[in-house]
Amino acid sequence: METANQAKIDVSEAKMKGEIGAKEREGLTRQNAAKIDAETKIISTQRDGDGKKEEVKVKTDVKIYENQREAEVAEANSVLATKKAGWSQQAKMAVGGCITTRS
């Protein structure tokens, strides 16, 4: 009888240890899955951020280039306007000189 009772106790303890082991494995599986999900989200967010940084950098470089070209065009227009003003002044002086020599 004692041996039968001990056998029942041993079986009960084995079942308990088996159930505890199964729950521990299930918990560890969930924890590892959650950890992997969190790490994946972090990496994904970092890559998104890197992509946005590169996009901003490219847009900034393009804007700088466009501004430089606009400045060069404005400078060329200014030089041209100055030359035209000089030519206009010379033309007026030439016409004025012709008028005074005829008098």
Any idea what the Cα angle at residue 40 is, between residues 39 and 46, rounded to 5°?
90
> pLDDT digit string (tens) for 53-98?
999 999 999 999 999 999 999 999 999 999 998 888 888 887 776 6
pLDDT number for residue 35: 98
Classify burial at 57, counting beta carbons within 10 Å of its beta carbon; exposed 0-12, middle 13-18, buried 19 or more: exposed
> pLDDT digit string (tens) for 33-50?
999 999 999 999 999 999
Query: Which residues, at least 6 apart from 16, have a Cβ–Cβ distance to it below 8 Å?
Result: none
Domain ranges of the chain: 1-77
